Amino acid sequence: MGIFEVILIGAGLSMDACAVALCNILGLAGGDQRRLWLMPVFFGAFQALMPTLGYGPGIGLAHIIGSYGSYVVAAVLALIGLNMLREARKGEAACNLQTLSLWVLTSQAVATAIDAFFVGVSFGAAGTPLVYVLVIGATTAVLVALTVLLARPLGRFLGNKAEWVGGILLLLVAASQLF
């Protein structure tokens, strides 16, 4: 797996964080707007932390999985992508945030990064370099920062379609693992 594919995985995984960030920005009723700039830090850090936590168990599974590592990565990415598409289809996004406290920000960052844990498991099982989790975190931080910068135009253009984009990106990367 090359760096470009890892950036695409990071982009796909970050779409739910971008959707939450966009929702936060559009739904925040006043408050300290500077706190919005904590979102790239929190979301990026947790998108790097969660696959790091999953990497160890993945290494433990490597001897069981053996030469099927790329298929496991493809299956995990496909399942996460399909789940993102399912959630996007249900349209569960609600932008009614009253305040962006550190507790809210942390819980949002954890919730949007849980799927990255399983990517870490598949990375460990496939022997993917651990440093790639930093690429995933950095990709998320950059995309969330761009979301903060471009929130108003993005809100009009994308609406709630960011999760669709993320799901499709993850499915494309999953398919690339098969070939």
For the stretch 10-68, pLDDT in tens is 998 888 788 778 777 766 655 556 778 899 999 999 999 999 998 888 877 776 766 67
The tokens for 148 are 């903060």
Residue 92 has pLDDT above 60, yes or no: no
Q: Can you tell me the distance from the alpha carbon of 83 to that of 134, in angstroms, rounded to the nearest whole number?
A: 24
DSSP label of 101: -
Give the CA angle between residues 117, 123, 128 to the nearest 5°. Answer: 145
Closest by CA position to 119, among listed 167, 62, 170, 68: 170
Alpha carbon distances (Å) from 8 to 36, 68, 126, 169? 25, 21, 18, 7
Contact indicator for 36, 24 with CB cutoff of 8 Å: yes
Query: What pTM was estimated for this model as a whole?
Result: 0.74
